[in-house]
Chains A and B, each alone.
Chain A
């Protein structure tokens, strides 16, 4: 029984919920029926995605790379892509469907999204070129970094930051400057550190 105490708002209609509630959960809840092949995905990706993400999902300029980076997560500069980093394929489907292409979102049909996601998988060497992705088999695709995440553990791994009395005097013997931003010099010109004589 609905106990709404202020009587404000009105019931949402099924059509309205269907229009806006399109999120897809890791267990597949929310995935619509449909399918798409790597082959179709390659053509759709070339039309709608490659201008930013590259013909092979490798990324153009500073735009996100969607493929590559396998086994780099513990490197100095990890390359985090759908293949190397994303834990759930449902997220890829959900995000492409809801928010891509950038500047023209929510224009892709479910079948087009299945095809694009299939092509992204292929670009990451996770499926063969004859693969067809569908709502039936999406959860079967193994994501390489599915087990790569831990829950926020700061309260245990960083418990030593909770110290009642921090050091106030004679905390260290020497202090040396080890790195300077002015040497790197990447701050926007107009706003870099002000020289007193220029003021």
Chain B
């Protein structure tokens, strides 16, 4: 090592020490210099000498073991058991917009059932010209469509209505996934059964239910059923996972995840809504005066900073920092996301990784130079309808504290000088 490079290393160490001492400070221009040669470079490593796995080692692969943090998690105290329960997508560790199916959240009411394609049947009955039974093979013969949509549980962020509870974006915002679906439009199947018997379609409904014990029956107005709902059998290129409704689920773009009926077995055209358990006892939103909204189908514009966040703290010290997150709206495409580092006093527009797509996740970035001081980090989504993501105070003003569902409020992360982040509420 030369005399001069040693001096530069020493001065870099002094700089880091002084930054740590004050907890903040100006960022030096230029890259840090190494104090000594890096043995990962100067010594031949095993992976550069020996060989890796053969192509026959992994017919269907899982992520490398070093990504063990990127997994679904559940919160034991949320539900009475794990069968009618929820787990959470590790959004704190993902990037882009497509959710890997293997860690995409699950919500079941009587567990994830195993239903073979050979045993699968789909019935269309009720006010149709000809009640029909389809096999899985029949469904694959209808003209197919591909669309990317988010599926967000109505209860996503629901534990946060009363205050800051769970310390991580995975837990506060992880009841969501975003996939590319391949399937047949619900309209195509309804027309195959024939809708002339139903007469005036404007006041008609479809009731959809799954093959599982819970059935998860929900009523959908005919206008939506004929618009953009999909009978999906592929997601992100492959068959649906068992836990996501294999072999067939309903996709209801922009609407609360409960209506995305899995293991779909029956579609009934009806004169009115069934007012099933999942649209009376559940998925109704109680207001402060004790009355409750029903049929709150659409998921409003929402966003969250995924990093930095409590599970993804800043570990690199001051300097360049990528602030990133997700935005979405059931009312249409995301048109912009604003980010605040001071708890909402001032905002700056973030950069969308790609133009917002209708009812799909949008990735945003804000590249800043972090000076090492505390931040109160927020994001605020805007959508094509003109809707602006509200604060929790704004939502509570209208709804009170007992709505359970549809919390799309602005999230705040308190990023400390150490780089650690905490879920907080601010005035």
Contact = CB atoms under 8 A, between A and B. Distances in A.
B125 A21 contact: yes
Chain A interface size range: 35 or more
10 contacts: A3-B194, A4-B132, A17-B125, A21-B266, A24-B274, A105-B110, A149-B291, A170-B345, A173-B345, A188-B74
Interface stretch (B11-19, B234-242, B295-303): B295-303
Interface in A69-119: 73-74, 76-78, 80, 82, 85-88, 90-91, 94-95, 98-99, 102-103, 105-106
Interface in A120-172: 148-154, 157-158, 160-164, 166-172
Contact of A162 (B284, B345, B388): B388
Given A8-B192, A172-B345, A181 B165 contact: yes
Assign chain B's interface to a size class.
Answer: 35 or more
Contacts of A1: 129, 194, 196
Binding site of A, secondary structure by majority: helix, strand, loop or mixed?
A: loop
Contacts, number: 292
Interface string B176-218: 0000000000000001111010000000000101000111010
The binding surface of chain B is classed by DSSP as loop
Interface in A177-195: 177-182, 184, 186-188, 191-195
Given A63-B80, A174-B427, A179-B163, A4 B276 contact: no
Given A4-B130, A11-B132, A191-B170, A182 B422 contact: yes
A188 B311 CA distance: 12
Nearest to B342: A175
Interface in B277-309: 277, 280-281, 284, 286, 288-298, 300
B77 A166 contact: no
B320 to A, nearest CB: 17
A31 B344 CA distance: 54
A83 B261 CA distance: 28
A199 B312 CA distance: 11
Nearest to A185: B167
Contact of B168 (A164, A171, A177, A192): A192
B308 to A, nearest CB: 10
Given A25-B272, A192-B168, A178 B427 contact: yes
Contact of A4 (B109, B192, B295): B192
B45 interface: no
B34 interface: no
Contact of A186 (B165, B217, B281): B165
A2 B129 contact: yes
Contacts of B421: 193
A12 B164 contact: no
A153 B79 CA distance: 29
Interface of A: 1-6, 8-12, 16-17, 20-21, 23-27, 52, 61-64, 73-74, 76-78, 80, 82, 85-88, 90-91, 94-95, 98-99, 102-103, 105-106, 148-154, 157-158, 160-164, 166-182, 184, 186-188, 191-197, 199
Contact of B130 (A11, A63, A77, A179): A11
A194 B420 contact: yes
B294 A163 contact: no
B214 A99 contact: yes
Contacts of A192: 167-168, 310
B414 interface: yes
A4 B194 contact: yes
A148 to B, nearest CB: 6
Contacts of A87: 275, 280
B394 interface: yes
B133 A12 contact: yes
B73 interface: yes
A186 to B, nearest CB: 6
Given A23-B209, A193-B311, A158 B398 contact: yes
